[in-house]
Amino acid sequence: MLTIFARCKVHYDGRAKSELGPGDRVIIIKPDGAFLIHQNRKREPVNWQPPGSFVTLEERGDILVLRSVRRKPKEVLEVELEDVYLVSVFKAEDYEELALTGSEAEMAEMIFNNPGLIEPGFRPLFREKDIGHGIVDILGRDESGNLVVLELKRRKADLHAVSQLKRYVEALKKEYGRVRGILVAPSLTSGAKKLLEKEGLEFKKVEPPKRESSGRGRQTTLL
Amino acid sequence: MLTIFARCKVHYDGRAKSELGPGDRVIIIKPDGAFLIHQNRKREPVNWQPPGSFVTLEERGDILVLRSVRRKPKEVLEVELEDVYLVSVFKAEDYEELALTGSEAEMAEMIFNNPGLIEPGFRPLFREKDIGHGIVDILGRDESGNLVVLELKRRKADLHAVSQLKRYVEALKKEYGRVRGILVAPSLTSGAKKLLEKEGLEFKKVEPPKRESSGRGRQTTLL
DNA sequence: TTGTACATCTCGGGT
DNA sequence: ACCCGAGGTGTACAA
């Protein structure tokens, strides 16, 4: 990993196009081609290039230019280095992966293992089921045999989530008769609640579970 | 800005929860509280804390622990520093903001200035119009006086975009009679095209414009 | 490669 | 503070 503290200008052209006037920034170049330019505020890099990009350094007239190119989509990032304060190389050895818990995937697991969390008699049948117009989180049947679509959200569900659920329900209605749609989330925005009710869809409050340790990322190696 | 090269372990608990075993990482702490931990691959930090978080350094037994806390939502990030290779401080002076062009906002401007890009006789009336169940990009009327909803996408439109458009059209249908919905984007995914046709919605191919220089971020100062 | 949806999404704008 | 939607979203996963 290469880290540079420098005063620089930045030019980007690709999916969009941007210019950034002179200022001090932290530049990080990773061995996989990821290229980050950070200003002194915000979590997000002001400019970047994704992994898989190729970096070159050229001398253009009197100043150094760092250039990172991505093919497909074609994107070019150029950094005019006006003043370089520090360059450091870090051979970072890292064989660990993040183990994260509290994801939507874990909510789904939990519901499969304990369908009563949704309602008595609920039977989950499919997970990540590709119906014609999208992929349903969980597809199952209720006590009365009605088809039930669950849309899971790990955090407060919004209008987008309701639209998603509605799309699935309507796609299945065409083929099967009555289809229930249940939004499964810790809470709802006000607008989501309104739309959900208008559309005759349902809500079941469920919190994403947090495991004790080790999510799916890295298993505790016992070898 | 504080940059640290270190071998460390990371523990996070907040909206979700994660553990990261020992390895070499680059840590960046910004004056606004943003806290980034980067592994040697990918554009995204493996762990982070958003701006507004508060960082402390404590000695826990024999090892140093960097701790960043965010209130609301309560989130705690702890970095156990097992081996510190480099610590650098960078007083980054930066008064520039990114000027970006090719955004959806610029597509909207372009269409307002030249409504014929949609179709002859189209008249835009509102922009970012809050109808009951969401916010419409552009609301207007066609040659025949029908209400028209435009949903703009700066890149290939997907199922989500179609659902969004459909939600707006249906919300307006209740009040007004026939309402047309047009998805305005450079292209469509296969699924989006299928759903769009099924729902009787329309598509108009439009590319986001790229200005010559300076988007809306920073105007070229002539003073 | 394309499509689809999640994300500790982040961020800005509005109310 | 909440709501809503954009983003050069990035990322993983499946077809």
- Encoded amino acid at A44, one letter: E
SS3 state of residue B106: helix
pLDDT tens-digit profile, chain A (223 residues): 999 999 999 999 999 999 999 999 999 999 999 999 999 999 999 999 999 999 999 999 999 999 999 999 999 999 999 999 999 999 999 999 999 999 999 999 999 999 999 999 999 999 999 999 999 999 999 999 999 999 999 999 999 999 999 999 999 998 898 999 999 999 999 999 999 999 999 999 999 999 986 444 444 433 2
Q: Are residues A70 and A137 in the same domain?
A: no
Put residue A125 in one of left, alpha, beta given phi > 0 → left and psi -120 to 50 → alpha: alpha
Residue B142 has pLDDT above 80, yes or no: yes
| Domain residue limits at B128 | 104-205
Residue B88 has pLDDT above 80, yes or no: yes
Q: What is the pLDDT of residue A212?
A: 86
CB contact under 8 A, A50 and B39: no
Which whole number is the average pLDDT over B7-29? 98
**Which sign, positive or negative, has the C-alpha torsion B198, B201, B204, B208?**
negative
Q: Are B16 and A106 in contact (CB under 8 A)?
A: no
d(CA A22, CA A12): 14
CATH code of A53's domain: 2.70.180.20
d(CA B85, CA B30): 19
Residues of B with Cβ-Cβ distance to A43 under 8 angstroms: 34, 36, 45, 48, 50-51
Chain A contact present for B22, CB below 8 A: yes
Q: Are residues B108 and B187 in the same domain?
A: yes
d(CA A207, CA A155): 8
**Closest to B135 in 3D by CA, of B164, B113, B161:** B164
Domain membership flag for residue B222: no
Give the residue from chain B lying closest to A9, CA to CA: B96
The alpha carbon of residue A95 and the mean position of all alpha carbons in its chain are separated, in whole angstroms, by 22
Q: What is the pLDDT of residue B104?
A: 98
Cα–Cα distances (Å) from B133 to A123, B55, B195, in that order, read 32, 40, 20
| Residue B23 or residue A223, greater confidence | B23
Put residue A214 in one of left, alpha, beta given phi > 0 → left and psi -120 to 50 → alpha: left
Q: Are residues B174 and B81 in the same domain?
A: no
Nearest nucleic acid nucleotide to A133, CA to C1' distance? C4
Cα–Cα distances (Å) from B72 to A43, A153, B23, B75, in that order, read 17, 20, 30, 8
Q: Would you tell me which residues 97-156 of chain B have a C-beta closer than 8 angstroms to some C-beta of chain A?
A: 97-103, 132-134, 154-155
Q: Are B201 and B166 in contact (CB under 8 A)?
A: yes
What pairing do the DSSP bridges indicate for beta strands A63-70 and A75-89? antiparallel
Q: What is the pLDDT of residue A127?
A: 98
Q: Are residues B185 and B112 in the same domain?
A: yes
Spell out the residues 6+ positions from residue B169 whose beta carbon is closer than 8 angstroms to its own. B149, B179, B180, B181, B201
Burial A137-156, CB ≥16 within 10 A → b, else e: bbbbebeeeebbbbbbbbbe
CATH code of A112's domain: 3.40.1350.10
Q: Are residues B111 and B156 in the same domain?
A: yes
- Encoded amino acid at B48, one letter: W
Q: Are residues B114 and B199 in the same domain?
A: yes
Domain membership flag for residue A162: yes
Maximum pairwise Cα distance, chain A? 77
Q: Are B185 and B164 in contact (CB under 8 A)?
A: no
Domain membership flag for residue A153: yes
Strand C bases contacted by the protein (CB, 7 Å) = 1-12, 14-15
Structure tokens at A115: 């369908």
Domain membership flag for residue A133: yes
Residue B217 has pLDDT above 70, yes or no: no
Question: Of A89, A112, A144, which residue is a domain's last?
Answer: A89
* Order of strands, sheet of B147-152, starting from the edge strand that comes earlier in the sequence: B123-131, B134-141, B147-152, B179-185, B202-205
Q: Are residues A117 and A199 in the same domain?
A: yes
Residue B219 has pLDDT above 80, yes or no: no
Which whole number is the average pLDDT over B66-86? 98
The total of structural domains in chain A comes to 2
Q: Are B99 and B11 in contact (CB under 8 A)?
A: no
The alpha carbon of residue B177 and the mean position of all alpha carbons in its chain are separated, in whole angstroms, by 34
Q: Are residues A183 and A132 in the same domain?
A: yes
Chain A contact present for B24, CB below 8 A: yes
Q: Are residues A16 and A64 in the same domain?
A: yes
Q: What is the pLDDT of residue B206?
A: 98
Domain membership flag for residue B210: no
Residue B39 has pLDDT above 90, yes or no: yes
Q: Are residues A153 and A69 in the same domain?
A: no
d(CA A18, CA A10): 8
Q: Are residues A49 and A119 in the same domain?
A: no
Which whole number is the average pLDDT over B127-152? 97
Domain membership flag for residue A223: no
Residue whose structure tokens are 């499969």: A112
Residue B221 has pLDDT above 90, yes or no: no
Task: State the CB neighbour count (10 A cutoff) for residue B175.
Answer: 10
Strand D bases contacted by the protein (CB, 7 Å) = 1-12, 14-15
Residues of B with Cβ-Cβ distance to A45 under 8 angstroms: 43
Residues of B with Cβ-Cβ distance to A50 under 8 angstroms: 43
- Mean of the per-residue pLDDT values of chain B: 95
Confidence of residue B212 (pLDDT cuts 50, 70, 90): confident
Q: Are residues B63 and B126 in the same domain?
A: no
Which whole number is the average pLDDT over B15-31? 98
